[in-house]
Amino acid sequence: MNEELLQLAQRMPKAELHLHIEGSLEPEMVFRLALRNGVRLNYPNVNSLRAAYAFNNLQEFLNIYYTGMSVLLKEEDFFDLTWTYLTRVHQDNVVHVEMFFDSQAHLERGIPIDVQISGIRRALQNGKEQLGISSKLILSFLRHLSEEHAFETLKLAKPFLDQLDGFGLDSTEIGNPPEKFARVFARCRELGFKITAHAGEEGPPDYVYQALDLLRVDRIDHGNRSLDDAVLVHRLTDEGKTLTVCPLSNLKLCVVKDMDQHPILTMLKRGLKATVNSDDPAYFGGYVNDNYRALIEHLPVTREDLYQLARNSFEGAWITEEEKTKHLHELNRVFAQTDPLSTGGEISCNRTGKIPGGR
Ligand code: HPA
Ligand SMILES: [Zn+2]
């Protein structure tokens, strides 16, 4: 195992673009919030809850995930959840995050949308002021519910649209293709929002085509199954679409059999703009740097691959060109500083994609 690469992965600045904030709810916090809110849990203790985190597929995970979030009732619960995540990933040198929240799951439990958004937003504001982490907030529609339900949610979100940055699509993929939501995403686009959708996690390449053609997404979440279709890979590379890949999630949900079979390096070789993300870190065994570590431990990851992955995270973020340039400058600085062949020369702000140090 390469200690130097592990340190570099830890140290390099990065953006996380695929994070369900409810998926950062650690078992300890589930129990703390249950006590605070008087919620009865079906598990006697933290260890028994953690022991239940063994999944054969996406649906088995989702069943526990929706149960876990039942302790989130008040504005301060959403604040604590989000603030805890931000302080945790600050240690991983995450400098920008674009997070999902599953508004409909909370609405179904009777939690008003303003409670959800204001708790999350207050923590994001603190994250900017106290940790220097910038952020975007994405309301993700649940695809196992109807398009009508999504439209109703959009209506409820209307007074808070200035606090949202985009819309996503998650939950049970197979049997709930993107086409089911074509009209509601057309409306979101008309309103000027960015769009992303989970596609090709378990579902076929056709769902990725639908996300591109019918939802007109700005990026694809997961997208693993795109590799089954060479024409689709060309299309994604031609259009420069970012894929928000989640290695530990893929392992835990049996999307890949072993980490040494993870396709992320193949994605990079084929020119796909893959990024590394944690998805639901409390459930899948780690935060973003744990995902980098798993890749380094199991695949022949190079320094150039790390650079490309971090670079892709900024290129795929919904931030301004100036912000991208600033982040890439810092990324280049870290790589130049840690280049074993470098004599420590001038660091240019390169936007060419070439790794500083020149190898
Ligand atoms: O990985 C995921 N896939 C689909 N829906 C989800 N909701 C939380 N995590 C996920
Ligand atoms: Zn996800």
Q: Calculate mean pLDDT across residues 299-322.
A: 98
Contact 266, 299 (CB under 8 A): no
- CA 40, 58, 255, 165 torsion-angle sign: negative
Residue 359 located in a structural domain? no
Domain coverage including residue 97: 3-337
Residue 141 lies in a domain: yes
Identify the residues whose C-beta falls under 6 Å from ligand 1.
Answer: 20, 23, 58, 65, 170-171, 198, 201, 249, 279-280
Tell me if 18 is assigned to a ligand binding site.
yes
pLDDT at 346: 44
Computed over every residue of the chain, the mean pLDDT equals 95
352 inside domain: no
- Is residue 327 annotated as involved in ligand binding? no
Percentage with pLDDT > 70 across the chain = 95
Whether 332 contacts 350, CB under 8 Å: yes
pTM (2 d.p.): 0.96
Q: What is the per-residue pLDDT across 2-41, written as a single tens digit (0 to 9) for each?
A: 999 999 999 999 999 999 999 999 999 999 999 999 999 9
- Residue 175 in domain: yes
CA 131–ligand 2 middle distance (angstroms) = 24
Q: Which ligand gives the minimal distance to the CA of 21?
A: 1
Residue 359 confidence (pLDDT) above 50: no
Taking residues 182-191, report their average pLDDT.
98
Do the domain assignments include residue 348? no
Residue 347 has pLDDT above 70, yes or no: no
ipTM over 0.90: yes
Shortest-distance atom of ligand 1 to CA 65 = 8
Centre of ligand 1 to C-alpha 102, Å, is: 10
95 within some domain: yes
Q: How confident is the model at residue 358 (pLDDT cuts 50, 70, 90)?
A: very low
**pLDDT recorded at residue 349:** 46
Annotated binding residue 218: no
Ligand 1 centre to CA of 218 (Å) is 18
Residue 251 has pLDDT above 70, yes or no: yes
Q: Average pLDDT for residues 323-338, to the nearest whole number?
A: 97
Q: Which residues are catalytic?
A: 201
Identify the residue whose C-alpha is closest to ligand 1 atom 4: 171
Q: In whole angstroms, give the CA distance from residue 294 to residue 306.
A: 13
Which of these, 209, 291, 306, 219, lies nearest to 252 by C-alpha position? 291
Token representation of residue 333? 């600085």
Mean pLDDT of 264-277: 98
- Cβ neighbors of 289 (< 8 A, separation 6 or more) are 9, 10, 92, 93
The DSSP string of 257-293 is: S-GGG-THHHHHHTT-EEEE--BSHHHHT--HHHHHH
In a domain, 356, yes or no: no
Q: Is 187 among the domain residues?
A: yes
pLDDT classification of 352: cutoffs 50, 70, 90: low
pLDDT tens digits, 274-283: 999 999 999 9
Question: What pLDDT does 355 receive?
Answer: 73
* Closest ligand 1 atom number to CA of residue 222: 1
Total domains, the chain: 1
Ligand nearest, relative to CA of residue 58:
1
Say which CATH number the domain at 157 has.
Answer: 3.20.20.140
